Structure 1
Amino acid sequence: MCHLKFPASSRLKQHLFGFHKRPGPFPCELCPRSYFNKFRLVRHCASVHKIGTVTQKEKNKMCETCGRGFASNTVLANHMRTHSGERPYRCGDCPAAFAHHGAYYTHVKRLHGKIVDRYGTVTRAEK
């Protein structure tokens, strides 16, 4: 069962093509895999078939506490919560609080049967 959230229908389509074995519009010429976008096809060819190179973002945003590097300020800010103990995502139905939206989302869906998007919109989870 899939527990991911999708703010736009295009992201849902990308997920379905990429993770549920439905054929995407970008097929690999060397194996039966296909992908929803060209970047994922290129990354597949580089890592699986050793054709081309995989480009990775430079991890130049450094944590001043532990020295780990991150590719974006957003990921660095999320990481900093592991040091500060900050838990900004608070459940409205119980006292639980979380450092990351993903953990909060999973908690609310599994324990309270609701789906909460990043904008705070609450909907009932379908059974």
Structure 2
Amino acid sequence: CLDCGKSFSESTNLSNHRRIHSGEKPYSCADCGQSFSHRSYLNIHRRTHTGEKPFSCPDCGKSFRQSANLSSHRRIHSGEKPYSCADCGQSFSDKSTLIRHHRTHTGEKPFSCPDCGKSFSQISGLTQHRFTH
């Protein structure tokens, strides 16, 4: 890739990757018009309209639209916590929880109220705050 230097063994993979830089989204949902850079992303999105959840947990039967969500869910049953905080050592079952936790150390508050500018470390804090306006 001329933009970032990443290499690919197949030209189709390079073409798909280049959409990250160009912003091209040639695959559109016929139901809502949302566009996607890859056909596979569109296929996953379509499940929001059809309600299809083809990935089921063998432990509890809960179903998911994406296999990655099932993999994350299965850690609840196994107790696996592969994501550790470099600052305090606390472990988490999914990466997004680690990212949220890490903000307690950094003080980062990436969610800002468009009305008053107050910032929050979690989007839920901003959502709750918005009711005050």
Instruction: Tell me the TM-score range normalised by the shorter chain.
Output: 0.3 to 0.5
Q: Answer with 1 or 2: which has the greater Rg.
A: 2
**Which structure: greater helix fraction?**
2
Larger RCO (CA under 8 A, 6+ residues apart): 1
TM-score, normalising length from structure 1?
Answer: 0.46
